Structure 1
């Protein structure tokens, strides 16, 4: 992996994350959740369900377009 790419990565929950990708995914998920929430009818619990659906849609979009930055290190363990 290039040295420049390592500078733009941080560790979150024991996984390597690119800062730019993290911010983009936060924006995408926030926007889809917010747009679904405000488009919901004003009858309880519909805004909740619409907001949750928007969050799931945002997650799917991020999962398709943002690729993982994982680094796998294989070690041999002897018993």
Structure 2
């Protein structure tokens, strides 16, 4: 039976360049870039929407999805998964 464990689960392996957010290790630079991109696309969608409350909401949500897609293309995952084989004797 094999078991998946994140390689950086032990915080002693962290080199000090990353921070923990919601039990995951992230780079502060990548986090700030993604927050900026999502903020710009969300506000951009909201501001270009026609003056109708439901359309403002819809354009803002579309902006969030566009921001997420841009961030997922720009920022690559840094997680390493190692497989540990448990052999029964």
Among 28, 51, 54, the alignment partner of 1:19 is: 28
Q: Higher helix proportion, which one?
A: 1
| Correspondence 1:53-68 to 2 at 5 A | 53-68=62-77
Unaligned runs of 5+ in 2: 1-13
Q: Structure 2 length normalisation: TM-score?
A: 0.75
Ranked by relative contact order (alpha carbons within 8 Å, sequence separation 6 or more), the top structure is 2
RMSD across aligned positions (CA): 1.6
Among 37, 59, 62, the alignment partner of 1:28 is: 37
After the TM superposition, list the runs of 4 or more consecutive aligned residues in structure 1 that deviate by more than 4 angstroms: none
**3-state SS of the aligned residue for 2:15?**
helix
Unaligned runs of 5+ in 1: none
Aligned: 1:52 with 2:61: yes
Matched length: 75
Q: Higher strand proportion, which one?
A: 2
